[in-house]
Amino acid sequence: MNTTYTAEGHIDAHPQVVLSVAHGPGGAIATLQGDLDVATAPALREGLLALLRPGLRLLVLDLSRLWFCDAAGVSVLLGTRRRATLLHIPLRLAAPRSRVAKILEVTGADCGFMIYSTLPEALALPLPPTLGPDRHRALCAG
């Protein structure tokens, strides 16, 4: 499924963010491409939250094609993580570009995510135990 989310009036060089989803046995890979900012965040939030259904065993967000992420984008990622945690769905971030990794680090948002250097690395590891709020706190504390 390829879904393109655009926002009216967005005039940046990349006026949209594209969410491409591939479903596999028990999991989904959502590839984000473009800019995740205040203009594109609401539509992308809707698309990501729609993926989080009971029975999904893993959601990997492939960030290798995400060129830019601002505070609104970080909020989308945090909201997706919050919903995934409530549904006990492990969420992994794969291959964030240096610019995106930096905003996650500066905001402290990287603390609560399982972040992998590459998509194959994120997919190769076994599923973690059920992730409740305590598991996410442990990721930041350790």
* CATH code (residue 104): 3.30.750.24
For residue 128, what pLDDT is reported?
Answer: 59
Cα–Cα distance, 29 to 128 (Å, whole number): 16
Q: Which residue has the tokens 């967005």?
A: 10
Indicate the angle between helix axes 71-86 and 41-51, nearest 10 degrees.
Answer: 20
DSSP state of 37: S
What is the reported pTM?
0.81
pLDDT at 141: 53
Q: Distance (Å, rounded) from C-alpha 52 to C-alpha 12?
A: 29
pLDDT of residue 125: 78
pLDDT, tens digit (0-9, with 9 covering 90-100), for 86-120: 999 999 999 999 999 999 999 999 999 999 999 99
One pLDDT digit (tens) per residue for the chain, 142 residues: 344 444 443 334 445 889 999 998 879 999 999 999 999 999 999 999 999 998 899 999 999 999 999 999 999 999 999 999 999 999 999 999 999 999 999 999 999 999 999 999 999 877 755 544 444 444 565 5
Integer Cα distance of 7 and 131 in angstroms: 33
Domain that holds residue 81: 2-141
**Helices and strands of the chain, counted as H and E runs:** 5, 6
- 3-state helix/strand/coil string of 94-137: ECCCHHHHHHHHHHCHHHHCEEECCHHHHHHCCCCCCCCHHHHH
> In the prediction, which pLDDT does 14 show?
43
Counting other chains too, the contacts that 12-21 makes at CB distance below 8 Å and 24 or more residues apart are 12/37, 12/39, 12/68, 14/67, 14/68, 15/39, 16/40, 17/43, 17/44, 17/66, 19/44, 19/47, 19/48, 21/51
Number of domains in the chain: 1
